[in-house]
Amino acid sequence: MLNYGKVCLCEAWGMFVFLGTAIFVAVLSVNLLGDGLRDALDPKLRN
């Protein structure tokens, strides 16, 4: 099973790069959305 995964990784590396990039963008967007909501709604941060 591991040998098949190694072959699949070598032949279809673009799929793994695309999926890794998609996960990275999704996590980054959720993080930025949370920061924006905290800045907008937290009364302690307002001057």
Let me know if residue 45 belongs to a domain.
no
pLDDT of residue 45: 78
Let me know if residue 20 belongs to a domain.
yes
Residue with tokens 């001057």: 47
CA distance 24 to 18: 10
pLDDT of residue 22: 98
CA distances from 18 to 2, 7, 32, 35, 39 (A): 21, 18, 21, 26, 31
Kindly report, residue by residue over 1-44, the tens digit of the pLDDT: 888 878 888 888 888 899 999 999 999 999 999 999 999 998 88
pLDDT of residue 47: 67
Let me know if residue 10 belongs to a domain.
yes
Q: How many domains does the chain have?
A: 1
pLDDT of residue 27: 99
pTM (two decimals): 0.71
Structure tokens at 34: 């949370």
Residue span of the structural domain in which 29 resides: 2-40
CA 4 to chain centre: 26
Q: Which of helix, strand or coil describes residue 47?
A: coil
Structure tokens at 36: 């924006």
pLDDT of residue 3: 84
